[in-house]
Amino acid sequence: MLINFIRIIKNSIKNFARNLWLSLATLSIIILALSLIGGLILLNAAANTVIDDAHERADYTLRFQRDTSEADVLIIKEKIEQRPEASRVVYVSPEEALQQQKEQGNEIVQEAIRVAEENVGNPYGASLHVKLYDTEMFPELKRYIDDIPDIESLLQDEHRAHNEALIEKVNTITNQLNYGIPIFISTLAIFVFLVTYNTIRLAIYTARDEIHIMKLVGASNWFVRGPFLITGLFYAIFSSLFAMGLMVFLTWQIDQHLSFLRDLELYLYVTQHFVYIYLVLLGIGFVLSVVSSYIAVHRYLKV
């Protein structure tokens, strides 16, 4: 049994060497595909980090007119707090808003505040900062706020601009990733499947005389078919190892030389999730290489 298995391994290596350039080209394509899939895993992780940060910063701010009373603002605050979309509602008084601008604004802003104070007093009204459980809930919350009686007369005209564009952008990116990544991976999978399938088919055709002799001397079906299936397994193992090594190297280089991407900590993510990422790549490589080899063998190798 062990001897037969060793012979099958030797024959699979012979099949690989017999069509060396085609085998190397196939291996390179699988490595490229798995590397791209690994890159998508990193892209998804980085995007989730950025999106989570954007979710934290994405709030909806209602800026009220300067003459709006605190009581009216607090009534609206209580209504919004009862909504399922709002995780937290923070009231900022006119005095707090003025102090924040004085501390955070540049010289031009501070000079404008000084002039405004001399002429009209505090130029800021109260505001409500609404934190959302999920940015996708924003349209529903916005509709509710718009339907509050007399709300338009209390709000400043520019209140809707604050973070609304960010919220919509975050939702757009999230949806694009959710739809785009599976489509891209599926396209790569089909391409790799077809390449491996045709490589094994050509290997069977090249070895057709040797296969005929094996059958004449009584070789079993597994002994004849096994080398081609093992070749597919070799593709999966070596391509996933190479793709994983490439990911580790590239993410290390990115962390070392691209400071603007350092906060994403891609190298740290790869090292912490090394086993998971490798098993994903190995699993994808196994399914694409071995399954396509199995189908090609059963279709073109009649034993």
User: 218 — alpha (psi -120 to 50), left (phi > 0) or beta?
Assistant: left
Confidence of residue 206 (pLDDT cuts 50, 70, 90): confident
pLDDT for the residue numbered 32:
84
Which residue would you say has higher pLDDT here, 3 or 90? Answer: 90
On the question of pLDDT at 161 being above 50, the answer is: no
User: Do 58 and 132 touch, CB atoms closer than 8 A?
Assistant: yes
pTM for the structure as a whole: 0.62
Q: Assign domain 59-160 one CATH number from 1.25.40.10, 3.30.70.3040, 3.10.580.10, 3.40.50.720.
A: 3.30.70.3040
pLDDT digits (tens, 9 = 90+) for 16-60: 777 778 778 888 888 888 888 888 888 878 777 777 776 666 677
- Rounded Cα distance between 301 and 303, Å, is 6
Q: Closest Cα partner for 68 from 198, 171, 155?
A: 155
On the question of pLDDT at 165 being above 70, the answer is: no
pLDDT digits (tens, 9 = 90+) for 103-126: 776 666 667 777 766 677 777 888
User: Do 91 and 128 touch, CB atoms closer than 8 A?
Assistant: yes
β-sheet with 86-92: strand ranges across: 59-63, 127-132, 86-92
Residues of each domain in the chain carrying CATH 3.30.70.3040: 59-160
